[in-house]
Amino acid sequence: MTAPVYNFAYLDEQTKRMIRRAILKAIAIPGYQVPFASREMPMPYGWGTGGVQLTASILGPDDVLKVIDQGSDDTTNAVSIRKFFTRTAGVRTTTATVDATVIQTRHRVPETALTESQVLVYQVPIPEPLRFLEPREAETRRMHALSEYGLMHVKLYEDIARHGHIATAYAYPVQVDSRYVMDPSPIPKFDNPKLSDCAALQLFGAGREKRIYAIPPYTRVTSLDFDDHPFEPYRHDASCELCAATDSYLDEVITDDEGHRMFVCSDTDYCEERRALGHGSAVASHGEAAQ
Amino acid sequence: MNEQPLLIAEGLTKYYGRQLGCRDASFELYEGEVMAVVGESGSGKTTLLQMLSTQIEPSAGQILYRMRDGSVQDLWTMSEPARRFLLRTDWGYVHQDPQLGLRMGVSAGGNVGERLMAVGNRNYADIRATAADWLGRVEIPEARIDDTPRTYSGGMRQRLQIARNLVTAPRLIFMDEPTGGLDVSVQARLLDLLRRIVSEMRIAAIVVTHDLAVARLLSNRIMVMKGGQVIEAGLTDQVLDDPHQPYTQLLVSSILPA
């Protein structure tokens, strides 16, 4: 029995063409959700089938791929997808943000600023920002078409009424190029400002929901808010215990069952780079001693 | 009263396939005027109301509406965004079932504020203050502003729905059996409230009802429908006190003496 032979990067060429057409349309209409014929991928929904299909269709033999999951290069999801493309496309992979040409991400935007030669591919679970407010698909499409976005503010109003501030911490709705309201995928709202005016092309793929959308390079993306409750990116009031960074998004890690915890950069590559440059060594040794 | 009518319906006709929904309904409605549409089930009242509120497209006839800027426009030749904008600013629609007209999972304040946010108000404090003011006007305690309508009684839900519709100070409001499904004392209170608000704000209203008592209390004019056609129209007191058509006479005589 012969092993099955796959096309470069798993998907057949016709499928890639179909997805590329959807990508082009998505870039032409920033923030608009383009329906596409999502394929069955050899991994479960929720593992990034939308992002994987996007990556597969834009990947070339010279590309260098980086895959991150919640900022980290070494979690199951990231490792599996990286292995998948190593095997099916034979492309080089990296964990360094600066070396990568295609970065597939789940729930984070890298801390290192992206460049024009890079593409950022997001995995999206629910592409429709209005979904939980308006369950009818026909109605949400009409609302997008007519830019009737008052409802989005109802959600923010509810946040303030219940919590005293806008409590939405991730998947914070944005408006792209003053037109389409978009779900930026479940990235923390700390990352929202990075979407705006970004040098890299940003693609969003939802496999189960069969939608692709995009933010072209250097497009203005604004987070929705109220005049008297402006958008504020959230960050733990601490510095990374490994690299002493004060500007990165931090993960809270519980270190024992006695209430001790530490804050570390969620972007592992960023943290390693900084430690290699000698940042935070004293604090890092202290952190290791504590462990 | 302004001499120009606010809304003119001309020969409104709706066929559902070969089935007649409503035939050749024509009338004029002036600012601040309340018109009741009465008739039995299946007489075409709701069809007429849905045509007027642009939810269904008439098979024939046209609806002319005088906009705030004074220009008169045919509703079905307007663009869809303009029509939808009209529907959520200059008009209101009170459903018989408040669940259809409210967002049941959103707090009362959010329900009332939705229209304000839809027309571009982006100041939380203002929205909340307006919402609180409107809750007061429809006699809902301000302390309940953050509760969802799920926790409200039927009468409160209906009053909340009215507040939600009136917050943008519409000039025309459609009501489909506004007191249906409420008990008598709650009905009376709601009718009082409606009558007061409608006269205070000088809102024109078209009220569909099968309850002649509601029509008598609320409306200046009345239209009686049967089998998809308007069979009698005129001043409410005139029609109810001296009905000409046999069917209207039957309706009037069917009122149970209190």
Q: Is A243 a residue of the active site?
A: yes
**Structure tokens that stand for A179 in this block:** 């037109």
Chain-chain contact of B114 with A228 (C-beta, under 8 angstroms): no
Q: Rounded mean pLDDT of chain A?
A: 92
Chain-chain contact of A146 with B81 (C-beta, under 8 angstroms): yes
Q: Is A240 a residue of the active site?
A: yes
Where b means 16+ CB within 10 Å and e means fewer, B126-137 reads: ebbebbbebbeb
CA distance A99 to A220: 26
Per DSSP, the three-state class of B117 is: helix
pLDDT computed for residue B108 by the predictor = 95
Q: What is the pLDDT of residues A143-181, one digit of tens each?
A: 999 999 999 999 999 999 999 999 999 999 999 999 999
Residue pairs between chains A and B whose CB atoms are closer than 8 Å: 53
Whether residue B149 lies within 8 A of chain A, CB to CB, comes out as: no
The minimal CB distance from B118 to the residues A150, A162, A229 is found for A150
- A158 interaction partners in chain B (CB closer than 8 Å): 106-107, 110
The domain limits of chain B are 1-90+172-258, 99-169
Q: Which of A31, A50, A207, A280 is catalytic?
A: A31
Tens digit of each residue's pLDDT, chain B (258 residues): 457 899 999 999 999 999 999 999 999 999 989 999 998 888 889 899 999 999 899 999 999 999 988 889 999 889 988 898 898 899 999 998 999 999 999 999 999 999 999 998 999 999 999 999 999 999 999 999 999 999 999 999 999 999 999 999 999 999 998 888 788 888 888 898 888 888 888 899 999 988 888 898 889 999 999 999 999 999 999 999 999 999 999 888 887 665
**Predicted complex ipTM:** 0.85
pLDDT computed for residue A288 by the predictor = 46
CA distance B38 to B130: 34
What is the bridge-based pairing of β-strands B172-176 and A174-176?
unpaired
By CA distance, what is B108's nearest residue in A?
A158
Q: What is the pLDDT of residues B185-210, one digit of tens each?
A: 888 888 988 888 888 888 999 999 88
- Start-to-end CA distance of chain B, whole Å, equals 35
pLDDT computed for residue A160 by the predictor = 94
Q: What is the pLDDT of residues A106-143, one digit of tens each?
A: 999 999 999 999 999 999 999 999 988 888 999 999 99
Residue type, A6: Y
pLDDT computed for residue B182 by the predictor = 83
| Apex A44 CA angle, A40 and A45, nearest 5 | 80
- B123 interaction partners in chain A (CB closer than 8 Å): 226-228
Q: Smallest CA–CA separation between A210 and chain B, in Å?
A: 27
Q: Which of A143, A151, A157 to mutate to test the interface with B (most CBs of B within 10 A)?
A: A157
List the CATH code of the domain at B1-90+172-258.
3.40.50.300
Helix (H) or strand (E) holding A181: strand A180-182
The minimal CB distance from B114 to the residues A151, A161, A228 is found for A151
Burial of B120: CB neighbours in 10 Å, binned 0-12, 13-18, 19+: exposed
- A153 interaction partners in chain B (CB closer than 8 Å): 117, 122
DSSP per-residue codes, B17-52 = TTEEEEEEEEEEE-TT-EEEEEE-TTSSHHHHHHHH
Distance of CA A88 to the CA centre of its chain: 23
Do A66 and A102 touch, CB atoms closer than 8 A?
Answer: yes
Tell me phi and psi for residue B239, to 5 degrees: -65, -45
- B124 interaction partners in chain A (CB closer than 8 Å): 157, 160, 226-229
Give the residue among B158, B254, B216 at the shortest CA–CA distance from B36.
B216
Place of tokens 């040098």: A199
| pTM, full prediction | 0.86
Q: Which CB contacts under 8 angstroms, 24+ apart, belong to A27-30? A: A27/A201, A27/A214, A27/A216, A29/A180, A30/A176, A30/A177, A30/A179, A30/A180, A30/A214, A30/A215, A30/A216, A30/A219
